Amino acid sequence: MAEKQLFHRSIVIVLSHAALRSSCHKWLAELFPLSEIIEAASGSEGIAMVAQHPASIVLLDQHLPDMTGITALHCIRENSCSAAVIIFSVMNEINPANLLSEPGAEAYLSDADLYLKLPSIINELMLKRDFRC
């Protein structure tokens, strides 16, 4: 059983695949009913959403139509010092060891790990992060 959400936070899902984005939205809304879930279909849209709705958590796909997740991460970091960013890939090619030199994200998940690990990572981040500059 999933852990209960402890605080009101916003979660921005940046994922180009509409069906997966919608499914992820519904799943996260069930797990985190006190959170506002915001969707974006591209890196530039995600960056704009984080700027308009300061996010606590940004779930960022590595493969976006207009940029990589790493590029979007850098743009988000320039505009939001407090958002916790989790990068994932539905292509299952993410190897966290390869990304250790890429600072800025709190976690890197493959598709296989997403549904198993994401709820506890989000809860942990919500508990330990001060989401202010």
pLDDT tens sequence for the chain (133 residues): 454 444 457 899 999 999 999 999 999 999 999 899 999 999 999 999 998 887 789 999 988 999 999 899 989 888 766 789 999 886 655 555 455 445 678 888 887 788 889 999 999 988 876 554 3
**What's the rounded Cα separation, in Å, for the pair 28 and 2?**
11
Angle between helices 18-31 and 111-128 (to 10 degrees): 40
Contact call for residues 110 and 94 (beta carbons, < 8 A): yes
How confident is the model at residue 97, as a pLDDT?
47
Q: Please list, in sequence order, all residues whose beta carbon lies within 8 angstroms of the beta carbon of residue 61, skipping any fewer than 6 positions away.
A: 14, 15, 16, 17, 69, 87, 88, 89, 90
* pLDDT value of residue 5: 45
Tell me how far apart the alpha carbons of residues 19 and 83 are, in angstroms, rounded to a whole number. 25
In this predicted structure, what is the pLDDT of residue 129?
Answer: 61
